[in-house]
């Protein structure tokens, strides 16, 4: 795990915290943050993005299009039942009775608002416009909207999961001149097998660290847990839902939309 000792020589530009990262054993203690550190409110930024999404929807509907819908199926509302289902889900994941990738790929890529389908992952890797995974996209928006430069910067991403770590690294290192803008940063991915000494060296020179651990008094910008990346994930999911609705227009609807714009 990342320790404060490993970061002793650091003065990082940004420390982004993701509660899903397996390398974390830290909890934020805001009373101990260095006095000049800026805590980035993911809730405030997510609220702004939701307002943008709301305006986008109203403009979309006023042009005569159908209002986008996001459907979730949940059977039962009993707390004990939820706990039981959660335990069953964990047990099923443990025995791997379902191929997660096959399930994700069963969803139409154009309706895949989570950005997990292999087609959307491939488009992302090729720097094409696509459904981006919500959490990585949220991290990207936090960096962009905070005004922190990424061009030529050193970035360390702690974690290599297919849904979080890898997409974040892709967004931050790719060429910003392509169809899907990238960060043009130099990105290092660390994981559970990264030697501690290498991790120490990488983090000492990092300008931005994306991880699930807080290092007190070392960062200039910090996203808290909760209230940091989490709200941004939901906000970006709403943006993907609107994008999916627009992508599913029939040819006639597309012509009508262009004519009304």
DSSP helix/strand/coil, 15: strand
Contacts of residue 16, Cβ cutoff 8 Å, sequence gap at least 6: 139, 142, 143, 208, 209, 210, 211, 223, 228, 229
pLDDT attached to residue 195: 92
pLDDT attached to residue 171: 92
CA proximity to 190, closest of 60, 19, 53, 22: 22
The answer to pTM > 0.85 is: no
pLDDT attached to residue 169: 92
pLDDT tier at 257 (50, 70, 90 boundaries)?
low
pLDDT attached to residue 83: 67
Give the chain's mean pLDDT.
Answer: 74
Q: In this structure, what token pair is assigned to residue 188?
A: 């290092």
Lowest-pLDDT range of 165-179, 189-203, 204-218, 232-246 = 204-218
Lowest-pLDDT range of 56-70, 95-109, 206-220 = 206-220
pLDDT attached to residue 92: 54
Q: Would you say residue 21 has pLDDT above 50?
A: no
Which is more confidently placed, 235 or 12?
A: 235
pLDDT tier at 43 (50, 70, 90 boundaries)?
confident
Residue 120 CA: distances (Å) to CA of 20, 61, 204, 253: 21, 26, 34, 24
Helix, strand, coil percentages in the chain from 3-state DSSP, rounded to 5: 45, 10, 45
Rounded (10°) angle between helices 165-173 and 118-125: 30
Lowest-pLDDT range of 4-18, 59-73, 96-110, 152-166 = 4-18
pLDDT attached to residue 172: 92
pLDDT attached to residue 26: 37
Lowest-pLDDT range of 13-17, 216-220, 226-230 = 216-220
Lowest-pLDDT range of 16-30, 37-51, 125-139, 230-244 = 16-30
pLDDT attached to residue 81: 56
pLDDT attached to residue 1: 45
pLDDT attached to residue 33: 41
């Amino acid at each position: 795990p990342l320790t404060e000792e490993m970061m002793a020589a650091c003065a990082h530009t940004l420390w982004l915290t993701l509660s899903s990262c397996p390398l974390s054993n830290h909890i934020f203690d805001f009373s101990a943050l260095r006095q000049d550190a800026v805590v980035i409110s993911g809730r405030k930024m997510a609220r702004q993005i939701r307002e943008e999404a709301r305006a986008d929807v109203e403009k979309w509907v006023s042009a005569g299009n159908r209002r986008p819908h996001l459907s979730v199926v949940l059977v039962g509302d009993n707390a004990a039942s939820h706990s039981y289902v959660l335990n069953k889900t964990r047990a099923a994941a443990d025995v791997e009775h379902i191929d997660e990738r096959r399930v994700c790929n069963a969803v139409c890529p154009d309706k895949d608002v989570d950005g997990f389908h292999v087609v959307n992952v491939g488009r992302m890797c090729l720097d094409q416009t696509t459904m981006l995974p919500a959490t990585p996209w949220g991290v990207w928006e936090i960096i962009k909207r905070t005004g922190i430069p990424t061009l030529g910067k050193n970035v360390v991403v702690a974690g290599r999961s297919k849904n979080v770590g890898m997409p974040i690294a892709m967004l931050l290192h790719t060429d910003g001149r392509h169809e899907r803008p990238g960060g043009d940063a130099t990105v290092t991915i660390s994981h559970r097998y990264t030697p501690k000494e290498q991790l120490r060296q990488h983090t000492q020179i990092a300008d931005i660290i994306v991880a699930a651990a807080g290092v007190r008094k070392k960062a200039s910008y910090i996203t808290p847990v909760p209230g940091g990346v989490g709200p941004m994930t939901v906000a970006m999911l709403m943006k993907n839902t609107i994008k999916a609705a627009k992508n599913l227009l029939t040819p006639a609807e597309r012509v009508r939309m262009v004519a009304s714009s």
